[in-house]
Structure 1
Amino acid sequence: MVMQTLKVELANRSYPIYIGRSLISNAELILPHLKRKHVAIVTNTTVAQLYLETLSNALQDAGVKVIPIILPDGEAYKNSETLNLIYDALLQNRCERSTTLIALGGGVIGDLTGYAAATYLRGVPFIQIPTTLLSQVDSSVGGKTGINHPLGKNMIGAFYQPQVVLADIDTLQTLPAREFSAGMAEVIKYGLIRDAEFFDWLELHIEQLMVLDEQAITEAIYRSCKNKADVVARDEHETGERALLNLGHTFGHAIENAMGYGVWLHGEAVGAGTMMAADLSQRMGWLTADEVRRIHQLLTAAKLPLDAPKLGVEKYLHLMQLDKKVADGKIRLVLQQAIGKSVITSDYDAEKLKQTLSLKSD
């Protein structure tokens, strides 16, 4: 299979995304992006057993000094305490501004490593090597980094772009099925918010995707990254269009927070949140019943749990007020005007929102 390449266009901070097989063992893709031959690889206990040796050996064979930093695995560890473990290792090893951090793992590792890179010595280079579908199609691209706070998800962080992203599809072979499905929520999101043609393609190819057909997976990752790269190039710091990428996230973050980080995987919560957004969009008269059925059918085929927990309307509203998109005390939501067309708005009927949050069908 030929490696696919695309670029996130951000003037002098542009960077490539490589999508293909056996990329973790290909040091030649990494070496041009190092200031000097000194890296710290940040990973977790699960991924370290699978891929740390392969990456370390490839880099060491190329003359690169490698410092491994192995963190506990899980969303519950995406916090300041774990972040300090990275700082501790960097300081103990006297890492300098020319040391490059490499994030080897899923979205939690990518977000933690990126935020550490943004803040250690006021900024050191970092590279993303995402090993989950969700991180390959979403969190590794675009420079959002950060940690969770007990009062809200991703409330502390920075926009900080990587030097390069390597999406090695071989890592999906070791990914638990539940994690793969969680990633599909973000893939489907791109079709819903801005690419109806991609949504149609996903409907036709969902069976191949779920059995990890190489050609289908590569195409889905490429088209997802292309959609995100296009949005990020126009709105890097989420002052407008980029907020559309948060379809389902305001509802989903409330679920994650209420249930405890890691109980629902991020993508699972986004999938349920996407259905809640579709429900409200239908109540607003924007989505047709057939469009809502298609959305539900595709998310179900991706084996995502779509029955959101019954937290109660007031609990949902309280947690959604903690969302980063809240402006002037008003919850702003990403809603669907059609499949492939979305809008971020605070101009919705509050009673209809409460009907959606009550999780009762009409």
Structure 2
Amino acid sequence: MTAPDPSFVSFPTRLAPITVPIALGDRSYDIRIGAGLLDDPATWQGLPRASLATIVSNVTVAPLYAERLAAALAPHYGRVLRIDLPDGEAHKDWQTLDLIFDRLLAEGADRKTVLFALGGGVVGDVTGFAAASYMRGVPFVQVPTTLLAQVDSSVGGKTAINHPRGKNMIGAFYQPLRVLCDLGVLGTLSDRELSAGLAEVIKYGPIADEAFLGWIEDNLAALLARDPRALAHAVRRSCEIKAWVVGQDERESGLRAILNFGHTFGHAIEAGLGYGEWLHGEGVGCGMVMASDLSVRLGLMPPAFLDRMVRIVERARLPVRGPALGADRYLELMRIDKKSEGGEIRFVLIESLGRAVMRPAPDEAVRATLAAHTG
């Protein structure tokens, strides 16, 4: 089934909201999922009031949704400021972060100023890092506008910018006050961005929920066609799994690392290409194929698992072969990965459907995987 042009995708005005809690003690918060949340006054109840609210977005998303968000926030804040960042992974850096700081300082933002991250993963990560750093911490709310951000990057408090030598290497753990996933905004995603988001949905099956993987396979056509109820279930189940994992391991000292299935290879692709050529989800999709291959090579999974992952990633319209960076370059980049210890690369691998492990792999096995799935 061919996904419709985004301009012709319509969602119900309202879809009964779903709440998924993140249990982190005094840092606990809710993920709210539904259609029409941006315009629902109940969405904004219970958030702290301040003299200034700041919407941080980008030049692509802001023209679509910033005015609606500003109108919703206006009754609750003395002023609503807007900061529009350049769009794209290539701008997830110090220079873009400073654009936020410069404007906050120029406008006299204080410690009670609330930042609202309106955009995809880049906007959410950069805004969260700015919130964690400005005056040593100000409150912020995630308003993700991509599928990838709704099911992954907006949830769990990871904030970061990229460094030329590695992705997300500079950042902080800093939880939002709330995550608001308005499914209606997914209607304006490009087909490519939608597929990129599906990569992060797919990953939850192999690492935590075999039944969910089967559901994704059965419902991929509906997801690609942006069926609202299929998307609602995908976002909800993804958030439930991530909420459970983050609740067990907020700062990625152990269990949370399983959420990086496919990311070690994927981040190497992104960094090796200089960011921006491949979307993050495209790198993750291809990285899951590589990690599945490595799981088979190390005897953890049967060959049929790799075949299954190749099929589902291909059906999601994601790449299954990485760029020809050369095995040495891949290994160099992966040794900078945050999960590496003492220069030893640690991969998230699957040992049974619904169960992931993190372990090193011999270089020769990694090279064999790269030879089979790059170029």
Give the TM-score category using the shorter length: over 0.9
Taking structure 1 as the reference length, the TM-score comes to 0.97
Would you say the 8 A contact 2:290–2:373 is kept in 1? no
Corresponding residue for residue 352 of structure 1: 365
| Letter of the 1:301 counterpart | R
- 1:196-235 map, 5 Å: 196-235=210-249
Would you say the 8 A contact 1:284–1:349 is kept in 2? no
- 1:260-299 map, 5 Å: 260-299=274-313
- Alpha-carbon distance, 1:339 to partner: 2.2
Corresponding residue for residue 95 of structure 2: 81
- Which range moved further: 49-58 or 27-36? 27-36
| Separation (CA, whole Å) in 2 of partners of 1:116 and 1:349 | 39
| Separation (CA, whole Å) in 2 of partners of 1:262 and 1:197 | 33
| Letter of the 2:251 counterpart | H
| Separation (CA, whole Å) in 1 of partners of 2:247 and 2:94 | 30
Would you say the 8 A contact 2:336–2:343 is kept in 1? no
Give the aligned length. 360
Corresponding residue for residue 193 of structure 2: 179
| Separation (CA, whole Å) in 2 of partners of 1:26 and 1:122 | 31
Corresponding residue for residue 3 of structure 2: none
3-state DSSP of counterpart to 2:142: strand
| Letter of the 2:100 counterpart | I
- Alpha-carbon distance, 1:217 to partner: 0.4
Corresponding residue for residue 118 of structure 1: 132
| Separation (CA, whole Å) in 2 of partners of 1:116 and 1:245 | 24
- 1:326-341 map, 5 Å: 326-341=340-355
| Separation (CA, whole Å) in 2 of partners of 1:207 and 1:226 | 22
Task: Mark the runs of 5 or more structure 1 residues left unpaired by the alignment.
Answer: none
Superposed structure 1 runs of 4+ greater than 3 Å apart: 61-64
Would you say the 8 A contact 2:198–2:316 is kept in 1? yes
- Is 2:262 aligned against 1:248? yes
- Give the superposed CA RMSD: 1.2
Would you say the 8 A contact 1:106–1:134 is kept in 2? yes
Match of residue 28, structure 1, among 13, 22, 42: 42
- Which range moved further: 108-117 or 58-67? 58-67
- 1:304-343 map, 5 Å: 304-343=318-357
Post-superposition CA distance 1:277-307 (Å, at most 9, x none): 0111111122212221111111111111111
Would you say the 8 A contact 1:41–1:103 is kept in 2? yes
| Separation (CA, whole Å) in 2 of partners of 1:193 and 1:173 | 28
Post-superposition CA distance 1:25-70 (Å, at most 9, x none): 2243224112425210000000011000111112114455200011
| Letter of the 1:16 counterpart | D
Alpha carbons of 1:334 and 1:35: their partners in 2 closer, same or farther (altered >3 Å)? same
- Which range moved further: 248-257 or 32-41? 32-41
- 1:132-211 map, 5 Å: 132-211=146-225
% identical aligned pairs: 51
Taking structure 2 as the reference length, the TM-score comes to 0.94
- Alpha-carbon distance, 1:326 to partner: 0.7
3-state DSSP of counterpart to 2:16: coil
